[in-house]
Chains A and B, each alone.
Chain A
Amino acid sequence: MRMIVCIKQVPDTADVKIDPRTNTLVREGVRSVVNPFDLYAVEEALRLRERIGGQVTALTMGPPQADQALRDVLAMGVDDAVLLSDRAFAGSDTWATSYTLALAIRKLGGADILLFGKQAADGDTAQVGPGVATQLDLPQITYVRRVVSVDQAANAPGGALVAERLLDNGHETIRTSLPCVLTVVKEINEPRFQSLTGLRRARKAVIRRWGAKELEADPKRIGLDGSPTRVVRIFPPKLRSGGVMLQGSPDAMVAELVGKLKDLVGKAS
């Protein structure tokens, strides 16, 4: 079973602070980490490998320093890793990113299961998993909370996978042929820590680095030129107007609060 996990390096949101004076993000000293959602995808790939055997490759697109994100998941036990890094990729939106990742996955010879975190913690778009699935014309199951079974013999050629998808109002069970794309939610597992031997292996690992040329990418479909969307403005959120701290005895505060919320609550019911 071949598995490819696509990951993204993001700023550690636990470190992100807002400058109270300018109301902008303070980026100084903010560490870069593997997108927390992607760790669940890595963990699930490792668990599938333990269950049914196979190989797990980690793939990321980013600046040269995204190398570290790949080493972090190599230390968890991923077999090998590929970094897509090229100035020509800069300014990619989710369309161009999906295209670029799909080229790399084809160059790797494809996989039986492609795994993604449900979304990245910086952009929050949740578009790249389904985008890659579509670029490769593969079926997908998004928001997976449990992989129920993988059967490589079922209705060959690729086999079949059954998983539960978390919906807004419950969950559904979906059966798909392989190869397929999964995007996973936090509920699916508890990611393992890096092991000492893993860290040692990760330090020494040779990470393949591919650019636009190696991928034979169409220059009109990568980077800024390949991105149908453009950011026209970035601005800080409006500060919430200062709140009111209620004062007095517990009973007095409760009475005051109920008074203030009376209209709001009445409308809803």
Chain B
Amino acid sequence: MKQLTISEKLCTSCGACVSACPFGALRMESVAVVDCNLCTLCGACVDACPVSAITRPESAAAVPVTDVIWRDVWVFAEVEDGHIHPVVLELLGEGRRLADQLGERLVAVLPGHETQRLVAPLVVGGADHVLVVDRPELACFQDEPYTAVLTELIRRHHPAIVLCGATTVGRSLIPRVAILANAGLTADCTALAIDPKTRRLLQTRPAFGGNIYATIECPVSRPQMATVRPKVMKPLAADPARKGEVRLDQVADALLAARAVRIGYTAEVSNTANIAEADIIVAGGRGLLKAENFRLLEDLARELGAAVGASRAAVDAGWMPYSHQIGQTGKTVCPRLYIACGISGQIQHLAGMSSSDVIVAINKDATAPIFKTATYGIVGDVVALLPKLTEAFRAAKQRA
């Protein structure tokens, strides 16, 4: 049976492994002891041990090594409401860096219909190559045909890396593809790098609601697949002079069959932006006291061109719809500016927004945990402060 080995000779019973274990599987007796029922072999203790007393069993090759050469970095070109999704340009920016480091090509993969006008932004955004499958059955995202087509393209062309936005579409599609392609997949990455020695993709992602980070690799299987959170990677400056090749692939009709079919679509009617994509978010919590006060928040959002978010407390109170909820049970966001109004900052809320660039907290309770995360904090009555803030931003804009 595979389990950790702890060298009694080397262990100094310092306890570093016990506090490093995210699963509470280690305890200290005369030396460290592992509870095999709790241990997931994650390896956190191996890194933490200052005297290298802990070793982890090596895994046998999960997939037989073939003589196929896997190369190139692929980005899935998600289309939303007829446009290239902004996360695709972010991934092309990051993918460009990875492809250059590997000395390989950056390929945008575009399944869809009437795709001609979608190719240019991909090339301008950094792609050397755009791989297109154009069929009426692919006019909107549907899990099965998109899975079948992407899997078929991977089998045909053998990419080393496949990247996709961690959007609703990406998080539904890519796990299916990873199973069929026998590939390792890391969800919701916030950092990517190439190990210069092994040329493997190092994929870093938050877990436990952002309380720890893990770096993950695929030692053997290919392609190496990752979904990446929107707004984390930086797009390249658009270069209209960039040239790229377009390749149109054909696929068999059988791949386009769908048992789950879209029969209706309703865009959310909202006067403010989608929180997952917003550069600025103003979010309200219990401290706003009542639903009507969200209008004050919407006024500020309109002034800033921001999206409106809400804490779980505000959603549970019925002040805002669930689609605006930020936090562990809602959406994860990382805008450039997050203004938390009357939100105390429970760990579950912080999990959804703590990677924002700049955080402003306004709360009447000076001891609220949100202030520990905030870049700028104001202790005060948020209902009174919001109109002042809106007015002050308006005045500043007029002066500028």
Contact = CB atoms under 8 A, between A and B. Distances in A.
Contacts of B263: 162, 173-175
Interface in A89-106: 90-91, 93-95, 98
Nearest to A229: B184
Interface stretch (B68-76, B101-109, B130-138, B211-219): B211-219
Given A16-B347, A234-B47, A87 B280 contact: no
B266 interface: yes
Contacts of A240: 354, 359, 372-373, 375
B43 interface: yes
A230 B216 contact: yes
B63 interface: yes
Interface size range of chain B in the complex: 35 or more
- On chain A, which size bracket covers the interface? 35 or more
Contacts of A266: 400
Interface stretch (A73-81, A163-171, A193-201): A163-171
Contacts, number: 329
Contacts of B392: 254-255, 257-258
Contacts of B212: 24-25, 234-237
Contacts of B276: 168
A264 B19 contact: no
B51 interface: no
Among the interface residues A30, A93, A125, A267, which one has the most CB atoms of the partner chain B within 10 A? A125
A215 B356 CA distance: 45
Given A121-B328, A134-B175, A170 B373 contact: no
B171 A126 contact: yes
A90 B40 contact: yes
Given A237-B211, A254-B385, A246 B376 contact: yes
A154 to B, nearest CB: 13
A230 B42 CA distance: 8
A91 B2 contact: yes
B84 interface: no
A250 B385 contact: yes
B261 to A, nearest CB: 5
A231 B23 contact: no
A233 interface: yes
Nearest to A177: B259
Contact of A185 (B62, B322, B385): B322
A228 B218 contact: yes
A123 interface: yes
B337 interface: yes
A185 to B, nearest CB: 7
B188 A124 contact: yes
A165 B218 CA distance: 31
A232 B351 CA distance: 23
B24 A122 contact: no
Nearest to B264: A173
Contacts of B267: 169-170
A254 B336 CA distance: 19
Contacts of A50: none
A131 B175 contact: yes
B260 A233 contact: no
Contacts of B202: 232
Interface stretch (A52-60, A140-148, A202-210): A140-148
Interface string A108-121: 00000000000001
A245 B47 CA distance: 37
Contacts of B42: 91, 231, 234
Interface string B303-316: 01110000000000
Among the interface residues A93, A122, A224, A243, which one has the most CB atoms of the partner chain B within 10 A?
Answer: A243
B310 to A, nearest CB: 13
B210 interface: yes
Contacts of A64: 37
A122 B207 contact: yes
B36 A87 contact: yes
B43 A232 contact: yes
Given A91-B2, A168-B274, A231-B214, A125 B179 contact: no
Interface in B324-346: 325, 328-330, 336-337
B2 A90 contact: yes
B299 interface: no
B178 interface: yes
Interface string B213-245: 111111111000000000000000000000000
Contacts of A232: 43, 202, 215-217
A162 B262 CA distance: 10
Contacts of A126: 171, 175, 187
B115 interface: no
B62 A258 contact: no
Contact of B143 (A63, A140, A264): A140
Interface in A14-28: 14, 16, 18-19, 22, 24-25, 27-28
Contact of A171 (B62, B210, B266, B372): B266
Contacts of A235: 47, 212-213, 215
Contacts of A28: 24
Contact of B144 (A139, A143, A165, A167): A139
A180 B56 CA distance: 38
Given A172-B264, A265-B337, A229 B377 contact: no
17 contacts: A13-B208, A65-B37, A98-B179, A126-B175, A131-B178, A227-B62, A228-B184, A234-B20, A236-B212, A237-B210, A237-B211, A237-B354, A245-B378, A250-B385, A250-B388, A253-B378, A254-B388
Given A125-B175, A172-B266, A174-B263, 14 more contacts: A24-B20, A87-B3, A90-B36, A94-B178, A142-B168, A165-B168, A174-B261, A175-B263, A176-B259, A186-B329, A223-B2, A234-B213, A243-B359, A243-B375
5 shortest interchain CB distances as A-B pairs: A228-B184, A173-B264, A27-B24, A176-B260, A228-B221
